[in-house]
Amino acid sequence: MTASGPYDELGLRQRRLVTSALLGCAFLAVLDGTVVGTALPRIVEQIDGTDSWYVWLVTAYLLTSSVSVPVYGRFSDLYGRRRLLLGGLVVFLIGSLACGLAGSMAVLIASRAVQGLGAGALLTLGMALIRDLHPPSRTEGLIRMQTVLAAMLVLGMVGGPIVGGLLADHAGWRWAFLLNLPIGLAAAVVLARLLPERRPPAAPSGRLDVAGILLLAGGLSLALTGLSLKGNAAAGHPLPWTDPAIAGCLLGGLALLALLVPVERRATIPVLPLRLFRHRTYSALLTAGFFFQVAALPVGVFLPLYFQYARGHSATVSGLLLLPLLIGMTVGNRLTAAAILRSGNAKPALVTGAGLVTVGTAAFFALDAGTPPALTCVWLLLVGLGTGPAMGGITIATQNCVPPADMGAATAGSALTKQIGGAFGLACAQSLMSHPGSATPTASAIGSAVAWSGAVAGLLALAALLVVRDNPIPAGGVRGGVPARRSTTAAAPASTTDGPTP
């Protein structure tokens, strides 16, 4: 017995084109979060900026993209995803064009913020729509999509610095932003022409939760600003956690988020449905995703420093030496998606991933300037294999443990907690790695920072997963002689108006 999905009327060619456009949107969102890193010196030099602007070119995008994620996710559940995604794509392209034409640092930073506002829709709604197009009832299709999506995200995260450096050296840094235009416009045309309109069958009634949106945006902005200031070292001397700017941002952000709770309890249509957090499995999965990212992101960010400072490799070679990490992530994600959808249970694969992340990062305690490259590759491969389950497995499990009407909010929650986890992980690892009087980190300092942050976070992710209840993942076909339970995606009736029915 195979459950039907909300897009079963799409032909194979249409489905592939729409899926490719959605993957392109997700890729652009991730790529533009990392592409400016290696181009920053050239950008600052050409538009008369100073080194103090570095952090804000990255932070402006991080803030607006992160803050907009839960808003897009929640509104897509209420009003449909298609128009929100197309609107976000238009905002992203406007921001990209403004970045490419910027003549001053202030304009560039403001344009990056506009980019981020659109990027929040590209990744969150793109992933939700891929799930709608390839529900668990289409097991093989979803496995392929999870694999391709993981590869796109990995290429975006690690390929961004390489692309940014190449463009800055050979074509000009402005092309790091202008190249978004042809890809984004092509995706917009495909989605506008081929993606059917869907809207939830029951329109929401009640006032827009303006107070909740403002408190959520303010709280997340302050918290992420504090973490970004902490994670960006200046000449090897990062600010302490007690610095007034960092402590003030973090405390102010937590205070606003605390005020958000009573506001959301009274809201008719809350932007952040608190009832989801009363679901033990949902809360545990978000916690595990947070700690997975705390453990994994410092590996991808700080190992290139080891390869360049301790081993003397170029930036390009350092990027290539991260290939075992990327291969591990892609393979681990594919194996996880296959295991989850064929067994109907996510917990074993996620627990295995947390164990591999813990072991792989703890191995970096032994890192020094003479560590054989082959051994470093093995450690990176272990971390990648362990991180792979978190990339797709947590999203699959999260989407299937909540009611269909909350699937967009659940996807957004998973993406947001991972983003915050990455910022927190970088801040913690940077603190562990810094040594007074030394502008260049040593091999042992890098290894210890990666190992401490990764091993502790891996164990905390494992602890969170142990409290996850078994939550059967519906799949098409027959398992063990018993017809599979119908997909929650298919359970909601399809409508003929805007936005997909979750």
Range scoring the smallest mean pLDDT among 58-62, 154-158, 367-371, 482-486: 482-486
Are the C-beta atoms of residues 431 and 284 closer than 8 Å to each other? no
Residue 501 clears pLDDT 90, i.e. is over it: no
Are the C-beta atoms of residues 366 and 339 closer than 8 Å to each other? no
CA gap 189, 387 in Å, rounded? 34
Name the token pair of 285. 């999965």
Name the token pair of 486. 């119908």
Name the token pair of 445. 């300092």
Range scoring the smallest mean pLDDT among 207-221, 361-375, 442-456: 207-221
pLDDT digits (tens, 9 = 90+) for 230-273: 766 544 556 788 888 888 999 999 999 899 889 888 888 788 78
CA gap 400, 254 in Å, rounded? 29
Average pLDDT over residues 180-185: 92
Are the C-beta atoms of residues 229 and 246 closer than 8 Å to each other? yes
Are the C-beta atoms of residues 388 and 353 closer than 8 Å to each other? yes
Sketch out the chain's domains with CATH numbers. 1-195 (1.20.1250.20), 275-482 (1.20.1250.20)
pLDDT digits (tens, 9 = 90+) for 64-99: 888 888 888 888 877 888 889 999 999 999 999 999
Residue 5 clears pLDDT 60, i.e. is over it: no
Residue 223 has what pLDDT?
87
Residue 502 has what pLDDT?
28
Please, where are the H alpha helices in 54-104? 54-79, 82-101
Nearest CA-CA partner of 406 in 209, 200, 205, 217: 200
Nearest CA-CA partner of 92 in 63, 67, 115: 115
Average pLDDT over residues 482-486: 36
Nearest CA-CA partner of 224 in 436, 33, 32: 33
The residue whose two tokens read 């840094």 is: 173
Are the C-beta atoms of residues 476 and 136 closer than 8 Å to each other? yes
CA gap 372, 367 in Å, rounded? 9
Residue 39 has what pLDDT?
67
Average pLDDT over residues 367-389: 89
**Dihedral, CA of residue 152, residue 154, residue 385 and residue 148, to nearest 10:** 0
What 3-state DSSP class applies to 35? coil
Average pLDDT over residues 205-229: 82
What 3-state DSSP class applies to 269? strand
Nearest CA-CA partner of 149 in 5, 157, 91: 157
Identify the DSSP state of 310: I
CA gap 277, 255 in Å, rounded? 19
H/E element, 483: strand 482-483
CA gap 8, 1 in Å, rounded? 15
Are the C-beta atoms of residues 72 and 84 closer than 8 Å to each other? yes
Residue 493 clears pLDDT 50, i.e. is over it: no
CA gap 500, 110 in Å, rounded? 32
